[in-house]
Structure 1
Amino acid sequence: MYCFMATLLSCSGSQKLACTVYETSAQGKALTPVDTFEPTTSPPITVVLQPKERFQTITGFGGSFTEAAASVLHGLSPANQKMVLEAYFGEEGAQYSLTRTHIASCDFSRQNYTYAPVAGDVNLTQFSIEPDRADLIPMIKAAQALSKEGFKIIASPWTSPPWMKDNKSYVGGKLLPEYQPAFALYFSKYLEAYQAEGIPIWGVTVINEPHGNGNNWESTLFSPEEMTQFVQHHLGPHLEQKGWGNVNILGYDQNRAGLPEWVDAMFRDEATSKYFAGTAIHWYESTYDYFPKALQYAHQKAPSKYLIETEGCIDSEVPHWKDDAWYWQKEATDWGWDWAAPHEKYLHPKYAPVHRYATDIIGCLNNWVDGWIDWNMILDRQGGPNWFKNWCVAPIIADPQTDEVYKTPLYYVMAHFSKFMRPGAVKIGCSITSNTVMATAVQNPDGSIAVAIFNPTAEKHTLAIHLNTKQTMISIDKEALQTIVIKPN
């Protein structure tokens, strides 16, 4: 369908853009095609697209395969299992292209486990991915079978095997220097085992959240220098020697406010940079600030490297069941609401989950981030299961007891980006004459342009979209996210 303008939204004096508009809104639209636009009383907001201004190449968008998600999925009927996977990976669904999974257990596992349980087994003769075979591997394989274009997987360990650490625990502690070669071997054993299952791994992070997580669940502590030295002298050379040099190693893998000191260490010189393919980041430092200065700094430090958001979710919340309105209201809290240091409390106010997702993804794209991965793809009504009872929200919530599935508004927000901004797309110039409405745009490999516009305000707005000598006039509802797909010339 083409953009149809109501009488007062005509485009006289210029050629008309051929485009399709999809909208998700607090008024009930859910990735709904829109072809009729009402005029508004406020002056138009102008969006100017500049395809000749080219920035980062898009790696992809998606979510994470976890043991928790897989166990919830497999508790559903076969029909609903297929429906959920189609929603994420099918041609009519979100078409996720970039995903993440955990290497051994994480907080969203049913229990602590490692692939190398035998203390002192430095050659990892007893290494086994057997714990993943019940739920996690079958979920990934089922997704592979549905995905026409395929998807990349980033794998992250939350901890080394406990016996390799100074505290011999799953939680906290540091990797002992004498076990650095064994931990590097742990990665290649994992890559080999998953490849044997028909699951190629595109990239790895060195450790999830190297600052730790308050000693709550699986973790291994690294300083920037310690991680850089481990990659430079052990992990990078080992993977290269074992034939895994094509696997992308991403450093850091925690919150953005800490980026500068990490990229300073990782990309200090050619020797430290050699084996790092890029930097992984999370969003938990603030419920509203996407830290553009930190993102720009990281890009400038290593402009040819990946900058990928590998985890974000509505944390410390039990999901609201079949209550779309809640996801648009400023009622959600996070860990910082209760636990942040007094001088950081201002970063953790109550927020609307949809606003947080849309604002962060657009803000990331406008500041050199090339990939964005959500956390669990599906959880139960409690926000689990997980062994630590660290309840969170997922875009899709299910009740295996009643065999019901609820696609929250967050699912549709993710689809606005993952479905229409494809791997290999290039972020292009996109300016907007508003301090409150946000916009970003990419040009896809097929030449089409996808423009994402988020209106967090309580007012409907007219939008004037300009591309070279063509333009279109549309409107965006109050509290709404739109994706405008402009056909190639």
Structure 2
Amino acid sequence: MRKEIYSILAIVLIMSACTDKDILEVAVYETSASGNQLKKIEEFPSSVSKDRILLNPEKSYQTITGFGGAFTEASAYLLNKLSKENRAKIMEAYFGKEGANYSLTRTHINSCDFSLSQYSYAPTEDKELKDFSVDEDLDDLIPMIKEAMTVSEEGFKIFASPWTAPPWMKDNKHWVGGKLLPEYYDTWALFFSKYIDAYHEQGIPIWGLTVENEPHGNGDNWESMHFTPEEMTDFVQNHLGPKLEKEGKGGIKILGYDQNREGLKEWVDVMYENKASSRYYHGTAIHWYESTYDYFPEALQYAHKKAPNKYLIQTEACVDAEVPHWRDDAWYWSKEATDWGWDWAPEDKKHLHPKYVPVYRYARDIIGCLNNWVDGWVDWNMVLDRQGGPNWFKNWCVAPVIVDPDTDEVYFTPLYYTMVHFSKYIRPEAKIIEVNHSDSEIMVTAAKNLNGSITVIVFNPTAKSKQFSLILDEKSKDISINAQAIQTIVIKT
């Protein structure tokens, strides 16, 4: 009997040794509708599932530029109204190494809808822009950016976008709509150059520019200026690009387009028509507002193939046309949100704008983008109030962090934790790698970081938990993910 026991123990020990050798060492973090917020998961129920996620780091795709959000006057103004403790808490949450560790950010040139009022750095008509000044940004916007730079250990890139040129440069002489008059193309190029210099003097290096936020306009609601693909390319090819190059600013990245994905083909066909047209474009900028569920993979693939060596960056996204829900995590996991198109989309586009789950929209879009050549993904406002502003046009939206400045309270919504799953664990210069998985109900993406670690992100939108075997080379790990959940799995290789 004793001999038999020893034999059984020996077999168990041998099996354990083999199993340990073949098991992947992973750290798993989960955010879920059931209440997990980047919770480290260390125990998994026994799996009987045959579903697999197979990683192939030998096959890689695009190089990651970064993830992050936007510095707006609205966000900066709100931070100034909070206590020092809560302001610091938010900045650490976004830029600290233990927080989201944002690596790619955006800001606005002149005012935008998420400003307190309409303003320009050059309000007086003058082609030489002698009165150019960024003093409007000194109270709120610039201090927020500087504080973020202090908090961030690894630093971050920042690109800037204009919503409009000063009205005096436009054919309609208004903040909203209209076109840049051809006689002011050189002046507008000078404006960009002066902006870069002014921010540099403040100690803020500008990494890149988008030529115009939403060149199709925004329904003539807030600051805007219209370009056709041909007009924007003319401006970049013959004015902005040569101006920056002549002044030694050729390293500034110029991103064209900067609107929804359905228009991508038309724009990249013009931008990258030939060497001359594409010379000064460093990449293409896109938004997500064309749909609440479709991330337009065919359009993204087309844009990449048209310019495979250029950036393809998602530069703005938010839960739009909604007043934020305060301290109500369940709403962010519920199919209750509506966007602008719920009421106003034309009939042939209505199907693109159904009610949606905010967390799902973020997770689905980011993973869909990463699996279709997008190399950067930037959210919109970092901080808004309980109304979804301040916003001079009352264009209310949701941010990952909502605050009540009157009571000095802060609410980190589930959208914040969703962003962290990507921004903290997929770092700049990471390579997206090949993933094959057998469960069509989940979404998966993976990246290999410069330090050798591999990050796998799994999104399960279903109402049931899922089990799968994660496989890398000859090692594997059985993992389960809760219903309605996002997981980040970090493999140290």
TM-score by length of 1: 0.97
Cross-structure match for 2:57 = 51
Match runs of 1:118-197 below 5 Å: 118-119=124-125, 121-197=126-202
Using the alignment, how far apart are the partners of 1:326 and 1:134 within structure 2? 35
Percentage of pairs with the same residue: 64
Using the alignment, how far apart are the partners of 1:284 and 1:475 within structure 2? 33
Q: Indicate yes or no: 2:300 matched with 1:295.
A: yes
Using the alignment, how far apart are the partners of 2:55 and 2:433 within structure 1? 7
Match runs of 1:36-435 below 5 Å: 36-39=43-46, 43-119=49-125, 121-435=126-440
1:74 shift after superposition: 1.0
Match of 1:31 among 31, 38, 60: 38
Distance 1:282 1:123, change over 3 A: same
Match runs of 1:11-26 below 5 Å: 12=19, 15-26=22-33
Structure 1 residue runs without a partner (length 5+) = 1-9
Letter aligned with residue 174 of structure 2: S
Using the alignment, how far apart are the partners of 2:42 and 2:220 within structure 1? 52
Q: CA RMSD, aligned part only? A: 1.2
Q: Secondary structure at the match of 1:220?
A: coil
Using the alignment, how far apart are the partners of 2:395 and 2:284 within structure 1? 26
Q: Indicate yes or no: 2:446 matched with 1:441.
A: yes
1:73 shift after superposition: 1.0
Using the alignment, how far apart are the partners of 2:45 and 2:30 within structure 1? 14
Distance 1:346 1:242, change over 3 A: same
Output one character per residue of 1:158-205: Cα deviation in whole Å (capped at 9) or x when no partner: 001110000000100000000000000000000000000000010000
Output one character per residue of 1:420-445: Cα deviation in whole Å (capped at 9) or x when no partner: 00000000001111222000000000
Kindly indicate whether the alpha-carbon contact (under 8 Å) linking 1:50 and 1:428 is maintained by their aligned counterparts in 2: yes
Q: Secondary structure at the match of 1:175?
A: coil
Kindly indicate whether the alpha-carbon contact (under 8 Å) linking 1:94 and 1:418 is maintained by their aligned counterparts in 2: yes
Q: Secondary structure at the match of 1:251?
A: strand
1:12 shift after superposition: 4.7
Greater mean deviation of Cα atoms: 289-298 or 14-23: 14-23
Match of 1:468 among 448, 469, 473: 473
Letter aligned with residue 126 of structure 1: D
Using the alignment, how far apart are the partners of 2:468 and 2:33 within structure 1? 19
Using the alignment, how far apart are the partners of 2:483 and 2:253 within structure 1? 41
Q: Secondary structure at the match of 2:144?
A: helix
Kindly indicate whether the alpha-carbon contact (under 8 Å) linking 1:159 and 1:218 is maintained by their aligned counterparts in 2: yes
1:45 shift after superposition: 2.3
Q: Secondary structure at the match of 1:231?
A: helix
1:91 shift after superposition: 1.4
1:400 shift after superposition: 0.6
Using the alignment, how far apart are the partners of 1:434 and 1:201 within structure 2? 43
Output one character per residue of 1:209-252: Cα deviation in whole Å (capped at 9) or x when no partner: 00000000000100001101100000000011111110000000
Letter aligned with residue 107 of structure 2: T
Q: Secondary structure at the match of 1:321?
A: coil
Using the alignment, how far apart are the partners of 1:414 and 1:460 within structure 2? 22
Letter aligned with residue 98 of structure 1: L
Structure 2 residue runs without a partner (length 5+) = 1-16
Kindly indicate whether the alpha-carbon contact (under 8 Å) linking 1:40 and 1:460 is maintained by their aligned counterparts in 2: no
Letter aligned with residue 15 of structure 1: D
1:29 shift after superposition: 0.3
Q: Secondary structure at the match of 2:243?
A: helix
Aligned residue pair count? 478
Kindly indicate whether the alpha-carbon contact (under 8 Å) linking 2:47 and 2:478 is maintained by their aligned counterparts in 1: no
Letter aligned with residue 297 of structure 2: P
Match runs of 1:447-466 below 5 Å: 447-466=452-471
**Which aligned runs of 4 or more in structure 1 are off by greater than 4 angstroms?**
10-14
Output one character per residue of 1:290-322: Cα deviation in whole Å (capped at 9) or x when no partner: 000000000000000000000000000000000
Structure of higher CA gyration radius: 2
1:13 shift after superposition: 9.6
